[in-house]
Amino acid sequence: MSSLKAHLSEEDRHRIADGTMDEERRAVIDAHLASCWNCKSDVAHLTKAVPSLRHVSEPTAPLDDLWTEIHERIEQGKIVSLGKEPPEATPAAAPQKKKFSWLWLAPIGVAAGVVIALFALPGKRGAEDRQASSMVADTGATLVSVVDSSYAYEREAQVLLDKLELQRALLRPEAAQALDRDLHVVDVAIAELKDAVARDPANPALRQLLAASYRQKVDLLKRASNAS
Amino acid sequence: MVRNILKVAFLVLALSAPIVGAQIPPDMPVLAARRVSPTFAITLWNPAGHVRLIAWDLDSLVIRGRVDASQKFMFGAGENGVKSAIEGRVVGAEPKPSELAVWVPRRSRVTVRTESADIEGVDVTGSFYTVSGAIRMSGSATSVEAESMKGNLDLNANVPWLRAKTGEGHLLLRGRPQDVDASTITGTLDIATATIMRGQFTSVSGDIHYAGAPPSGAILEFSNHGGGVDLLLPATASGVFALSSISGIIENSLPGVRPAAAPRAMRVTLGRGDASITVRTFKGAIRLRPQ
């Protein structure tokens, strides 16, 4: 102990209380306790709490066995097999593998056929679709993905806004004001970006900025939800 | 210009500033003490005042605190989790400040929510939410998630995964984080660490400052609508910098780097181009500066 004048650390008090202090240090600590009423009183208080401290919750199952149980639960409600068992799982505990069936691929094949037919058939789409198609061809997959993420964020933001209207009464005025200020800032940014995107729809940087602003809005609304 | 110099000076100061509140809190009465499993979870609610969290190597939970007479301390413990809260004795009354100091096992997971109470943690893993309080984390952790509606965040941790978000507050990242998602709405975002391998930094109108050499293989993405993005780079910085702004300016004052060929876009390779840095703004300025 560096100085007997200083109070004991929390860990020292705790170790004295639960009896895990090593002998060498114990002597120094005892000397301090003999002269410091504050620490002595606190250790006494902690020692009274020791019965609850001594109650230890042991894991109900060894960690290695947990995966087997989880795997079994998943298998019970599965549609597609999870496949190979982990090497740790014992053969006895492992559920039987089911025979692989190609039948489950049938709906996917039908869906893929419909998608191909929709996009491959000429003359069925309007001018707007052709424009979108050429835009995709020009700017690549990045633009498609950011457009998709913008739509996804926009939808999520709307769901969160609807939810927030119900929770607004639970927000303290200070939080509500902060939320409204931030929402205004984000909405102004989104409006500016939407205008810019309308003028230059094939600009991937604009789309990415728009997606980022929507993401900000979603995050903000989630924070507000946490605050309520 | 003066504003920017002041910001840079702040960054330098931030790098050397100690975490003031990291010391062991003063003696406070024991509110709860319990032996817990090393990986237990605790959820804590303290509307106003201060919450200090300290991780230790003991498998015990100790909560000390000073609770205002108008408040009551609630505590409930289960097999692998603990819930604790400070609640007003009168429903709807403005909460009075209460001070809590909480010791938890190093591998435990902590969730803290506050309204105006500041949250301060050392070596603590978990999620921390506040409306207007400040959050300060330091030490080592497995993951840290810190969110505030309007408070400041100072995250100075050695952590593999870090998520930090604030609205109006100032967000300062230090320490040794690796995978970072950080954002503000109007607050300034300062990144004063060069250990981030995957980083996403976003603001709507707050300025973003990054100071340091991105590590080899790092992928960093900066996005800002109206605020600026300043990159302060040492001479040793190595990376491919793709900078673009819809209507903002791009300034380059790095020695030996050619000026932007186009007014709104610039691609610069420094050193061997080991890191990948992308900066996008709508109308905010992008600046490359020597550190």
Residue A95 in tokens? 């559920």
- CA–CA min distance B172, chain A (Å): 18
Q: Are A227 and B149 in contact (CB under 8 A)?
A: yes
Q: What is the DSSP letter of B243?
A: E
Please report the number of interchain residue pairs, chain A to chain B, with beta-carbon separation below 8 angstroms: 136
Is the pLDDT score of A188 beyond 90?
Answer: yes
Reduced DSSP (H G I as helix, E B as strand, rest coil) percent helix, strand, coil of chain B, to 5? 5, 55, 40
On chain B, the residues whose CB falls within 8 A of the CB of A195 are none
Mean pLDDT of B10-25: 45
- Nearest residue of chain A to residue B201 (CA atoms): A212
Do the domain assignments include residue A158?
Answer: yes
DSSP H or E segment with residue B62: strand B60-66
Percent of chain B with pLDDT over 70: 89
Do A49 and A138 share a domain, yes or no? no
CB of B30 within 8 Å of any CB in chain A?
Answer: yes
State how far the alpha carbon of A196 is from the alpha carbons of A150, A182, A216, in Å. Answer: 14, 21, 18
pLDDT of amino acid B261: 61
Tens digits of per-residue pLDDT, B62-98? 999 999 888 899 999 887 799 999 988 777 778 889 9
Tens digits of per-residue pLDDT, B22-54? 444 446 889 998 889 999 999 999 999 999 999
Do A140 and A221 share a domain, yes or no? yes
- CA–CA min distance B7, chain A (Å): 23
A223-227, B102-106, B124-128, B227-231: least confident range = A223-227
Task: For residue B113, name the pLDDT band (cuts at 50, 70, 90).
Answer: very high
Distance from C-alpha of A115 to C-alpha of B9, rounded to nearest angstrom: 57
Do the domain assignments include residue A66?
Answer: no
Do the domain assignments include residue A103?
Answer: no
Range of the domain at A200: 126-227
pLDDT of amino acid A97: 47
CB of A164 within 8 Å of any CB in chain B?
Answer: no
pLDDT of amino acid A130: 37
Percent of chain A with pLDDT over 70: 57
Enumerate residues 6+ apart whose C-beta is below 8 A from A46: A13, A14, A16, A17, B30, B33, B62
Among B147, B149, B165, the residue with its CB nearest the CB of A175 is: B149
Is the pLDDT score of A34 beyond 50?
Answer: yes
Do A46 and A130 share a domain, yes or no? no
Overall domain count for chain A: 2
pLDDT of amino acid B264: 81
Buried b (16+ CB within 10 A) or exposed e, B247-258: ebebbbebeebe
Do the domain assignments include residue A178?
Answer: yes
- Chain B, 44-73: which have a CB under 8 Å from a chain A CB? 54, 56, 58-60, 62
Do the domain assignments include residue A78?
Answer: no
Among A45, A185, A193, the residue with its CB nearest the CB of B186 is: A185
Mean pLDDT of A160-184: 82
Do the domain assignments include residue A170?
Answer: yes
Do the domain assignments include residue A39?
Answer: yes
Query: What is the set of domains in chain B, with CATH numbers?
Result: 2-211 (2.160.20)
Asked if B223 lies within 8 A of A45 by C-beta distance, the reply is no
Q: What are phi and psi of B32, to 5 degrees?
A: -160, 145
Asked if B185 lies within 8 A of A213 by C-beta distance, the reply is no
Reduced DSSP (H G I as helix, E B as strand, rest coil) percent helix, strand, coil of chain A, to 5? 70, 0, 30
Asked if A209 lies within 8 A of B168 by C-beta distance, the reply is no
Do A222 and A134 share a domain, yes or no? yes
CB atoms within 10 A of CB B207: 23
Do the domain assignments include residue A114?
Answer: no
A88-102, A109-123, A164-178, B162-176: least confident range = A88-102
